[in-house]
Structure 1
Amino acid sequence: MPEFRVGETDFLLDGRPFQIISGALHYFRVHPDLWADRIEKARQMGLNTIETYVAWNAHSPTPGTFDLSGGLDLDRFLRMIAEAGMYAIVRPGPYICAEWDNGGLPAWLFRDPQVGVRQYEPRYLAAVREYLNQVFDVVVPHQIDRGGPVLLVQVENEYGAFGDDKRYLAELARYTRDAGITVPLTTVDQPTPEMLAAGSLDGLHRTASFGSRSTERLATLRAHQPTGPLMCSEFWDGWFDHWGAHHHTTPVEESAADLDALLAAGASVNLYMFHGGTNFGLTNGANDKGVYQPLVTSYDYDAPLDEAGNPTRKYHAFREVIARYHKVPDSVPLPPQPAPTLTVELRDPVRLLDAPQRWKSWQSYDHLPTFDELSPIPRLALLRTRIDGDRPSVLTFGEIRDRATVFVDGNQIGTLLREHHDRAIALPRSNGELLVLVEDLGRVDYGPRIGEPKGIIGGATVDGMPLSTWDVLPIELTAIPDLRPDGTPATPFGPVVMRAEFDVDQPADLFLDTAEWGKGMVWLNGFLLGRYWRRGPQRTLYVPGPLVRAHGNEIVVLELDTMLSPEVSFVPHPLLGHTEA
């Protein structure tokens, strides 16, 4: 069997120096019918390795489950990498960041406030060990010394930016070895002396994450990894976007020059990202460094392969750089073609507030529970109580996480946003049924707020008097595509469900233009594409071709705000928003 190990100056494959030229491709962000296409395009660009995170919360949405079906079939993904003649790097976390909801950690894990986060704490470690055993049951047979493609496995992820618990890192390394992982183990940290010192252990090979000043940052890494190959295992060739900001891009020429410097120095590299893909469903994360910033649905990342899997200028520039150091294939991907265009009317409105019992059953509480007190933990919920006053009042919440729209007797009063630090709203009258629609916009994926609860935190008061009796209705999002009008006339303003049908000449990728909509979520043929929001920067939602049928496609929209035009419009190209330039 082949052997892969860490040598004095290089990675060694069967005793010969081997420079890893890898690209990040997250299987859980790409439709599984497109995995082979994306892997082949990586090979054509000159990459020899595919790297992926493993998202714990995607595989284990509830305790005691571990889903390896469909788009979560890690075994199939690794087999496809091998069939393409490429190698693989697996990064199972348990924390992955990745701008992914909660950094990949399951929300249910933190229902018990005593459970530690990324530290040596028995309850947390017990859950982590169970998770890693499930992952490594898949990965172990795919290691290179067993005839598979896996060269490296990473322990934790940029831990030096979070903590310095060496016992915790040692326990993760022990779990990994006990589970049968025999290939070299790595860590990754940003190249500062403090982070490199805190985030690794002797015996684990240190690598770095950066996107510029390659020579300088390799020197910093070398000071903390005196022997063995240098590796930038996250070469940031782009960046992510959050709602309300601009679409991030990085200059092609600058990124190519930094990649050239890495390869010229003999360093190995993993492009983060080669192909970003999409935060399908409600899987986007968020940042909070004083201001809460939820991430958009697109994870295009300005990567060499765009969100729809098409080669960009950066793809060809990187291929040219790689060709200076290694032979690249003769073939290149075909240039992208415009997507089909069409427009259809949305119809059959069903207003959420008119018959909420159709969504799920109300649950009664003697306090205002957080989302994390509910089971399963919802992403969207209605909160209901009665208020009895005789004058205008002020409704105050402890904290909003993350968006709350307030109604009195069905009339919308206003919306509170976490990012604005909103907590209070004026009520024109304090008598009647008070409804609050609360949305989790994405859990924080980086920093000390990982694992925090969602919903309304700290209860609510009217003019300082606590509101203690509440009914809660978690919205069952998977039921929305099947929700049909019941004959009661409904107005087409939010929160409302509407639908449309359409045909195409033949199945193909589509780009859904949401510019005339407000805020909400979209399903195509029962698959939740993700969120849209008029505030941008993202304007189109990517629809993978395998989801599209020639005839009888159904699109369902949950509009939480107000549509300017109730119609579905598909456009020829993605529109990801304005840039800084």
Structure 2
Amino acid sequence: MPQFAIGERDFLLDGRPVQLISGALHYFRVHPGQWADRLAKARMMGLNTVETYVPWNAHAPEPGEFRLDGGLDLPRFLALAAAHGLHAIVRPGPYICAEWDNGGLPGWLTRDPAIRLRSSDPRFLDAVAGYFDRLLPVLAAAQVTRGGPVLAVQVENEYGAYGDDSGYLRALVGMLRRGGIDVPLFTCDQADDTMLARGGLPDVHRTGNFGGHVTERLAVLRRQQPTGPLMCAEFWNGWFDHWGGAHHTTPAAESARALDELLSAGASVNVYMLHGGSNFGLGNGANHKGVYRPTVTSYDYDAPLSEAGDPTEKYAAYREVIARYAPVPELAPQPAGPAPAFPVRATATAPLLGHLDRLATRTDHDRAPTMDEAGQYRGFVLYRTTLAAAGPQVLTVGEVRDRAQVLVDGVPAGVLSREFHDTSLAVAPNRPDAVLDLLVEDQGRVNYGPRIGEHKGLIGPVAVDGAELRGWQVYRIDLDAHAGLPFTPSDAAVLGPAFHSGEFEVGGPVDLHLALPGWTKGVAWVNGFCLGRYWRRGPQRTLYVPGPVVRAGRNRVTVLELESARRPEWEFRPGPDAGPTEE
């Protein structure tokens, strides 16, 4: 079987020096029906390797569960990479960052609030061991030493930016080796002396993450990794977007020059990202540096392959650079033509509050619990109680994570937003014992820094005029259950929170780009496949619909609109619209 090793100055494949030219492609952000297309385009750009994270929370959404089906079929993804002539680098975490919900850590880990994440806390290591027990046999079987594509496996992820518990890193190395991982291990950190020192181990190869200032960053890396090949494990060629911000782009020519500088120095590279894909479902993460800012649904990243998998100007520029250092196939991919453009009318509706019996599981609590305490780790929870008195009064909450729509007897009274530090709202029930509802949305768990693992929902007491409210009914909402709702034909005004649906016909599977002009905020599906969140504030203006989701003949759009819309209609547009690039 082939062997991959770390030499004095080079990576060695069967004893011969090899320069790794890799690109990041997260299988969980791409529809599995499109994996082969994206991998083929990776090879056509001249890459010899593909890299992916593994999101623990996607594979294990509940304790004891481990999924490898559909879009989580990692063995199939790795086999397809090999079939396209690509090696693979795998980064299994347990923490991955990746602008992914909670950095990939399952929400259920922090049901015990005393657990110390990303540390040698035995409770955390025990949970990681259970994860690795299920994952590592998959990775071990796919190693190059067993005829598979996997050349190397990463230990943790940018740990030097978080902690300095070398015992934790050593524990992970021990688990990986005992789990059958015999290919080289490596760590990655930002190209900073302190972070590289804190985040690595003397006997594990260090790599650096950066997007420019190549010569300077390689010098920093060489100080911390005196021998062995230099590698930029994340060559940042774009960036991610937050709701309410601008769409980030980087000049293709400037990025290509930096890539050329990196390869000409003899360093190996992993382009982050080759193809970003989408945060389908509710998988997006968030950042919090004084202000909570959730990440948008698109993970286009201004990458060489667009969110829809089309080659961009950056793809051509990178291909030209790579051709100076490695063989590049003659065949190059061509951009797809415009997608079908047409309107779709919403013709039926189902109010969320009117169907809680079909959508949710209820538990009763004396005081308002967090979402996590109620057993919900992603999405929406409805908190319900009654207000004893009529008339104007002030509702206060310790903290909302992340957005609460407040309704009194089903009538919207306002919104409390974590981003804007809202903690109080005036309400005015017109009768005693009015029903108070707070529909709380987890807009994405923080994926970087000390706030990973924090609970969602209502934090601290909920009070009216200073008196704490008691006697709560808490509904854990299962959004996928909307498929079984009895939708009622409707041409009335669009009011939320409610599901709305409409049908369209096309000739066969085709990529589409769904726009919701005039709609406010919510979640959208096509044929039951969750495209992700939309929000009027942008920057993102369309949601990508993967071609394999669409079928010949009749198709259905379903939208959960949380507030309201100008008219009951959506649009499919000819191409994606990631929004303005300047705020």
Alignment TM-score, normalising by the size of structure 2? 0.98
Residue in structure 2 matched with residue 483 of structure 1 by the alignment: 485
The CA deviation at 1:489 is 10
Residue in structure 1 matched with residue 204 of structure 2 by the alignment: 204
- Show structure 1 runs of 4+ deviating over 4 A: 486-491
The worse-fitting range, judged by mean Cα deviation, of 380-389 and 48-57 is: 380-389
SS of 1:371's equivalent in the other structure is: coil
Is the CA contact (8 Å cut-off) linking 1:277 and 1:306 kept in structure 2?
A: yes
Is the CA contact (8 Å cut-off) linking 1:351 and 1:490 kept in structure 2?
A: no
Is the CA contact (8 Å cut-off) linking 1:102 and 1:444 kept in structure 2?
A: yes
Q: Which runs of 5+ in 1 are unaligned?
A: none
Is the CA contact (8 Å cut-off) linking 2:361 and 2:477 kept in structure 1?
A: no
Residue in structure 1 matched with residue 135 of structure 2 by the alignment: 135
The CA deviation at 1:467 is 0.6
What CA distance in whole angstroms lies between the structure 2 residues aligned with 1:359 and 1:129? 34
Q: Give deviations 1:79-128, integer Å, cap 9, x for gaps.
A: 11111111000000000000000000000111111222000011110110
Residue in structure 1 matched with residue 550 of structure 2 by the alignment: 548
What CA distance in whole angstroms lies between the structure 1 residues aligned with 2:363 and 2:347? 31
The CA deviation at 1:505 is 2.0
What CA distance in whole angstroms lies between the structure 1 residues aligned with 2:14 and 2:489? 71
Residue in structure 1 matched with residue 2 of structure 2 by the alignment: 2
Amino acid at match of 1:444: V
Q: Give deviations 1:243-273, integer Å, cap 9, x for gaps.
A: 0000000111111111011001000000000
Residues 179-198 of structure 1: pairs in structure 2 closer than 5 A: 179-198=179-198
What CA distance in whole angstroms lies between the structure 1 residues aligned with 2:507 and 2:489? 33
Residue in structure 1 matched with residue 289 of structure 2 by the alignment: 289
What CA distance in whole angstroms lies between the structure 1 residues aligned with 2:416 and 2:518? 22
Is the CA contact (8 Å cut-off) linking 2:349 and 2:489 kept in structure 1?
A: no
What CA distance in whole angstroms lies between the structure 1 residues aligned with 2:376 and 2:455? 13
Alignment TM-score, normalising by the size of structure 1? 0.98
What CA distance in whole angstroms lies between the structure 2 residues aligned with 1:211 and 1:564? 43
Residues 42 and 488 of structure 1: is their aligned pair in 2 closer, same or farther, counting only changes over 3 Å?
A: closer
Is 1:437 matched up with 2:409? Answer: no
- Aligned pairs, how many? 581
Is the CA contact (8 Å cut-off) linking 1:191 and 1:220 kept in structure 2?
A: yes
Residue in structure 2 matched with residue 61 of structure 1 by the alignment: 61
The CA deviation at 1:358 is 3.5
SS of 1:314's equivalent in the other structure is: helix
Is 1:452 matched up with 2:454? Answer: yes
The CA deviation at 1:568 is 2.2
Residues 152-167 of structure 1: pairs in structure 2 closer than 5 A: 152-167=152-167
Is the CA contact (8 Å cut-off) linking 1:102 and 1:445 kept in structure 2?
A: yes
Residue in structure 1 matched with residue 324 of structure 2 by the alignment: 324
Residues 169-318 of structure 1: pairs in structure 2 closer than 5 A: 169-318=169-318
The worse-fitting range, judged by mean Cα deviation, of 241-250 and 373-382 is: 373-382
What CA distance in whole angstroms lies between the structure 2 residues aligned with 1:11 and 1:268? 9
Amino acid at match of 1:434: L
Residue in structure 1 matched with residue 396 of structure 2 by the alignment: 396
SS of 2:576's equivalent in the other structure is: coil
What CA distance in whole angstroms lies between the structure 2 residues aligned with 1:531 and 1:56? 22
What CA distance in whole angstroms lies between the structure 1 residues aligned with 2:470 and 2:491? 34
What CA distance in whole angstroms lies between the structure 2 residues aligned with 1:330 and 1:224? 39
SS of 2:353's equivalent in the other structure is: coil
Q: Which runs of 5+ in 2 are unaligned?
A: none
Is 1:512 matched up with 2:514? Answer: yes
Residues 130 and 361 of structure 1: is their aligned pair in 2 closer, same or farther, counting only changes over 3 Å?
A: closer
What CA distance in whole angstroms lies between the structure 1 residues aligned with 2:284 and 2:390? 43
Residue in structure 2 matched with residue 380 of structure 1 by the alignment: 380
Amino acid at match of 1:517: W
RMSD of aligned residue pairs (Cα, Å): 1.4
What CA distance in whole angstroms lies between the structure 2 residues aligned with 1:303 and 1:487? 42
The CA deviation at 1:506 is 2.2
Seq. identity, %: 59
Residue in structure 1 matched with residue 74 of structure 2 by the alignment: 74
Residue in structure 2 matched with residue 148 of structure 1 by the alignment: 148
Is the CA contact (8 Å cut-off) linking 2:355 and 2:485 kept in structure 1?
A: no
The worse-fitting range, judged by mean Cα deviation, of 186-195 and 345-354 is: 345-354
Is the CA contact (8 Å cut-off) linking 1:502 and 1:553 kept in structure 2?
A: yes
Residues 175 and 408 of structure 1: is their aligned pair in 2 closer, same or farther, counting only changes over 3 Å?
A: same
The CA deviation at 1:498 is 0.8
Amino acid at match of 2:523: M
Is the CA contact (8 Å cut-off) linking 1:500 and 1:568 kept in structure 2?
A: no
The worse-fitting range, judged by mean Cα deviation, of 107-116 and 482-491 is: 482-491
